[in-house]
């Protein structure tokens, strides 16, 4: 038992409010906390906000003064910052107007460049119109594109076809650079490749989120994930992009490369 009471900041899992509580033992803080948050003492416990470490009477004396604690009732769990990040991310399942407004407000008041950048990136990510498909639903997305493109899927399908046709055109200019003995074989392979690509509409479905599962490289919502360099199994940086979300992402997507016969996507040029 401590001589001097220890002060801690206490919050309950589902409460946005924090209270200062002082106690000479873990049990005392728990009792006061349960009283404050109107929670049952039986089955409840305390843990560190920081990393979720559960408090015991032995550990209690080494807890820093003014440490932030979380009061958990039976069945509840807390994993530290990770839990807060998880709750934060869950807000992105359905970006709400409130979230965008709150971010804009924070950005207005923010002076630190690093936090400005984080908020601007956040705003960029929540201000997207992924579900919209037609020009009427999302006019900014189509800014700068020819009027004949009326749907996002249609444009991206065209974009993919166009890329693959340009690869083919480039290869078609190579016969003069190979030796005479290999030219006949080169032209035969090229002809076969040309025919095959034409029969599958130059694999335009790769970029079309409306295409059947096996035919596209994205999710039904339009998310593409970098599949890493040719000599690796995956992208270590876990890059992803949704060119359907907004105009900036559509333009940025053009710097992603299409590689390999299987249509592997690589982030960034080169």
Partner DNA sequence: GTGCGACTCGCCACAAGTGG
Partner DNA sequence: CCACTTGTGGCGAGTCGCAC
Least separation in angstroms between CB 70 and DNA? 44
Q: Rounded distance, CA 187 to CA 142, Å?
A: 39
CB 34 within 8 A of CB 92: no
The binder of DNA chosen from 27, 51, 254, 260 (CB under 7 A): 254
User: Closest CB to DNA among 73 and 151?
Assistant: 151
Minimum CB distance to DNA smaller for 16 or for 269: 269
12 in Cβ contact with 37 (< 8 Å): yes
d(CA 83, CA 151): 39
Among 111, 148, 176, 230, binds DNA (CB under 7 A): 148
DSSP 4-70: SPEEEEEEETT-S-EEEEEESSHHHHHHHHHHHHT--STT-EEEETTT-PBP-TTTGGGSPTTEEEE
Query: Does residue 247 touch DNA according to CB under 7 A?
Result: no
Q: Which of 33, 37, 47, 161 binds DNA (CB under 7 A)?
A: 161
Contacts of 90 (CB under 8 A, 6+ apart): none
Size of site (CB under 7 A) for DNA: 22
Should residue 145 be labelled a site residue for DNA when binding is judged by CB under 7 A? yes
Please report the sign of the dihedral spanned by the C-alpha atoms of residue 95, residue 96, residue 98, residue 101.
positive
Based on CB atoms, which residue is closest to DNA, 115 or 198? Answer: 198
Residues 170 to 209 in contact with DNA, rule: CB under 7 A: 170, 201
* Options 27, 166, 234, 237; binder of DNA; rule CB under 7 A: 166
Q: Please report how close the Cβ of residue 252 comes to DNA at its closest, in angstroms.
A: 10
Contacts of 259 (CB under 8 A, 6+ apart): 230, 265, 266
Q: Which is nearer to DNA, 99 or 171 (CB)?
A: 171
Q: Name the one range near DNA by CB under 7 A: 3-11, 111-119, 131-139, 140-148.
A: 140-148
SS3 250: helix
**Among 159, 203, 245, 246, which residue interacts with DNA (rule: CB under 7 A)?**
159
Q: What is the CA radius of gyration of the chain?
A: 28
The CB-of-215 to DNA minimum distance in angstroms stands at 17
**Which of 78/253 has CB closer to DNA?**
253
Interacting residues with DNA (CB under 7 A)? 144-146, 148, 159, 161-163, 165-167, 169-170, 201, 253-255, 257-258, 268-270
């Amino acid at each position: 038992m401590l001589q001097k009471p220890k002060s801690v900041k206490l919050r309950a899992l589902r409460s946005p409010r924090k209270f200062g509580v002082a106690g000479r033992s873990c049990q005392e803080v728990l009792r006061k906390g349960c009283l404050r948050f109107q929670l049952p003492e039986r089955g409840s416990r305390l843990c560190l906000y920081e990393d979720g470490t559960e408090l015991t009477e032995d550990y209690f004396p080494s807890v820093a003064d003014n440490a932030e604690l979380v009061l958990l009732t039976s069945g509840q769990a807390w994993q530290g910052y990770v839990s807060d990040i998880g709750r934060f991310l869950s807000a992105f399942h359905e970006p709400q107007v409130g979230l965008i407004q709150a971010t804009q407000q924070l950005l207005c008041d923010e002076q630190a460049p690093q936090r400005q950048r984080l908020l601007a990136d956040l705003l960029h990510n929540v201000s997207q119109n992924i579900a919209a498909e037609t020009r009427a639903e999302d006019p900014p997305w189509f800014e700068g594109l020819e009027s004949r493109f009326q749907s996002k899927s249609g444009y991206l399908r065209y974009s993919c076809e166009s890329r693959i046709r340009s690869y083919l055109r480039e290869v078609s200019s190579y016969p003069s650079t190979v030796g005479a003995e290999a030219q006949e074989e080169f032209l035969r392979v090229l002809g076969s490749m040309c025919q095959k690509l034409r029969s599958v509409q130059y694999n335009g479905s790769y970029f079309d989120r409306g295409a059947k599962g096996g035919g596209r490289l994205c999710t039904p919502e339009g998310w593409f994930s970098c599949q890493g360099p040719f000599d690796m199994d995956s992208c270590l940086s876990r890059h992803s992009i949704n060119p359907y979300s907004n105009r900036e992402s559509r333009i940025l997507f053009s710097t992603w490369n299409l590689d390999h016969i299987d249509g592997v996507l690589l982030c960034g040029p080169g």
